[in-house]
Amino acid sequence: MTDPGRPSFSAILALDEEMLLQKFLSTVAGVGLQGAEAQAGTWRAVLRELLAAIRQWRAGHGPDATEAGAGLPPDQAVSQLGVRLSDLAHDQGIVFATFFPGVKLIGQLCAACLQDQGGTLVQLADLRGFFDQMETGLCGHWLAVEADHYHKELRQARYHLLHEKRRYFVVFQRMAEPAFVVDDRLRIIDVNQACLEFFGGSSQELIGRACCDLLGYKACQACALEEALAAQTSFSNIEVAIIVGEQEKTVFMNGTFLGDINHEYPGILVI
């Protein structure tokens, strides 16, 4: 039973929502939580949820319990409160580094109010246990949401890369001009059909060869592809003479840097 000389836990926490909000807002600057004033509406909603949940929790839990609460077991219900607060923060765009310290601060303010109004050590321990359980639910759900968001972004990125790769492949293969792609060490990693027809041979014979091995040393000296890759830029209409089979051909070369792809820096050369 509750000591009749002590105020009821629920009565102690029947606090004025606005008063507690003002205490919170006047304290946040001192603990480095900037911008809370601009989100006062969100924090008011958090306080409303917390105070209502504390009163409901105490109705079926602890030394001043009246009757067993219906629905979820007490600890599970408190964890579900953490889930709701996590969803509220995500909906409002509040980051974890701001929201979680704010929730911790509210717990400290509630404990201070309880202590100031004569709460017992048992009541204070119960209140801290309530916040510990709620914070566990909040953190667990927050991590699950962030992981789900990360995996969705990863799937979207993979879809985008696959789409771009397919689009590049279609354009690359349909080009009338001979073209090949090199890595940052100027080794051939892809060729189009026109390139195979121009030089002869199969893709297996060309892929893996050094660019200079295919074009010849003199052509590589005149070609600006290596400089374009280093400067991440492009070049066009460089006239060079290359040996194809046993025949010398004069061609114009164009090349460009293709960007950072999986920390590699390929380029494309079009003849």
What proportion of the chain, given as a percentage, has pLDDT over 90? 0
pTM for the whole structure: 0.50
Contact (CB, 8 A) for 258 and 268: yes
Structure tokens at 183: 């890595």
Q: What's the confidence (pLDDT) of residue 67?
A: 39
Q: Span 129-140, mean pLDDT?
A: 88
Q: What's the confidence (pLDDT) of residue 70?
A: 41
Rounded to a whole number of angstroms, the CA Rg of the chain reads 34
Question: Residue 271 and residue 254: Cα distance in Å, rounded?
Answer: 7
Q: What's the confidence (pLDDT) of residue 1?
A: 44
- 232-258 pLDDT, tens digit each: 777 777 788 887 877 888 888 887 777
Domains and CATH numbers, the chain: 9-154 (1.10.490), 176-270 (3.30.450.20)
Mean pLDDT computed over every residue of the chain? 75
Higher confidence at residue 219 or residue 136?
Answer: 136
Q: Span 64-81, mean pLDDT?
A: 59
